[in-house]
């Protein structure tokens, strides 16, 4: 019997603006994910996201150039007021999006009942980290793909993918946020805005910096979250990446300023049965999009050859100018 040829990894790329979307497609994205200009998506920042007219044009542009467009509606609806989220799902379906990315159980139910032909992807916000959890969404709502949290080793990803009855997608580059509610609550406490409901983690309106005799002081609301000397790496202004004083010392208690980069692990992820890999960064510039998408396009294409994977340096585009394989390479338990 002839072995079935493995499909190449699908490259899923971010776009926070129409120009970023065009850049991602031109750089080689197989699919692009973006959101409407409101709190229905988890990157609800000023100057980002798409109006309905822009989304319609983006879907046409992507389709014309052989790419898919995925609409992220991945925040949780307000109790008693799901209208904006229902409207976002209705509009994504009417505009012809390839899929919507959802986390909220109520929204998944709504989408499955109202739009039977709309492809549903399970957001990483749902934190489905086991095949049993994923299969619940498959059986209940007809989910076609699950985005896995950034907490699994490659062996664990392989086990999940082997038993999940839908496609799986893993993050490949960018921020290491794991969307753990306790950590997201730090931002909610400091700013009054919820990452999981309002779509804003560390909103720019609450971030401030000052120079204190050569030390960069970062503040979020009323809280100092970091003090960085000129030779120290600086991360995004989130409490997760802040320095904390504890009884065992001072340092990055939750997460250091570093970015995920799994290019050296692409053969292992492909062997694990993953369908797609995802680049993070809807709030990032077109220069970031072009450089990162192009680099991953070359690496993914090289998987189909016997040569080495090209590994152009992306360090200048990372937090702290440093990269990691994250939990994918985890050896501790």
21 and 120 both lie in a single domain = yes
- 232, 252, 272: which is the final residue of a domain? 252
74-88, 159-173, 221-235, range with the lowest pLDDT:
221-235
170 and 191 both lie in a single domain = no
Average of pLDDT values for 103-107?
97
288 and 155 both lie in a single domain = yes
- 252, 279, 303: which is the final residue of a domain? 252
167 and 305 both lie in a single domain = yes
pLDDT at 1: 44
Domain that holds residue 215: 181-252
- pLDDT higher for 305 or 288? 288
pLDDT value at 31 more than 50:
yes
How far apart CA 187 and CA 193 sit, in angstroms, is 7
- 193, 217, 252: which is the final residue of a domain? 252
Within a domain: residue 109? yes
Within a domain: residue 298? yes
67 and 102 both lie in a single domain = yes
Within a domain: residue 2? no
pLDDT value at 319 more than 90:
no
What's the number of domains the chain is made of? 2
Average pLDDT, the chain: 90
Q: What is the pLDDT of residues 156-213, one digit of tens each?
A: 999 999 999 999 999 999 988 765 555 677 778 888 887 777 777 888 888 888 998 8
pTM above 0.95, yes or no: no
How much of the chain exceeds pLDDT 90, in percent? 61
88 and 38 both lie in a single domain = yes
Within a domain: residue 60? yes
Average of pLDDT values for 252-268?
88
CATH number of residue 168's parent domain:
3.20.20.70
Neighbours of 90 (CB within 10 A): 15
């Amino acid at each position: 019997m002839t072995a079935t040829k493995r499909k190449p990894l699908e490259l899923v790329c971010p776009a926070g603006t129409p120009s970023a979307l065009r850049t991602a497609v031109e750089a080689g994205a197989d699919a692009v994910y973006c959101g409407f200009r409101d709190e229905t998506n988890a990157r609800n920042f000023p100057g980002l996201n798409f109006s309905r007219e822009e989304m319609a044009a983006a879907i046409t542009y992507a389709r014309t150039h052989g790419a898919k467009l995925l609409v992220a509606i991945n925040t949780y609806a307000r109790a008693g007021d799901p209208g904006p989220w229902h409207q976002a799902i209705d509009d994504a379906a009417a505009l012809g999006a390839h899929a919507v990315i959802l986390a909220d159980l109520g929204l998944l139910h709504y989408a499955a009942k109202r739009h039977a032909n709309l492809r549903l992807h399970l957001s990483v916000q749902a934190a489905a980290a086991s095949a049993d959890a994923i299969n619940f969404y498959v059986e209940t709502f007809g989910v076609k793909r699950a985005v896995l949290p950034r907490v699994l080793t490659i062996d664990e990803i392989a086990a999940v993918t082997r038993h999940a009855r839908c496609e799986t997608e893993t993050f490949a580059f960018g921020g290491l946020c794991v969307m753990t509610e306790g950590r997201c609550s730090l931002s909610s406490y400091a700013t009054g805005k919820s990452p999981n409901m309002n779509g804003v983690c560390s909103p720019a309106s609450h971030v401030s910096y000052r120079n204190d005799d050569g030390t960069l002081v970062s503040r979020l609301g009323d809280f100092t979250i970091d003090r960085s000397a000129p030779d120290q790496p600086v991360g995004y202004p989130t409490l997760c990446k802040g320095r904390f004083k504890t009884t065992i010392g001072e340092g990055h208690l939750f997460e250091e300023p570093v970015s995920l980069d799994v290019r050296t692990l692409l053969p292992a992820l492909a062997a694990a049965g993953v369908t797609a890999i995802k680049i993070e960064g809807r709030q990032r510039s077109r220069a970031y999009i072009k450089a990162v998408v192009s680099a991953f396009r070359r690496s993914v294409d090289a998987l189909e050859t016997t040569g080495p994977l090209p590994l152009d340096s992306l360090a200048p585009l990372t937090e702290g100018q440093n990269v990691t394989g994250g939990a994918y390479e985890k050896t501790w338990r």
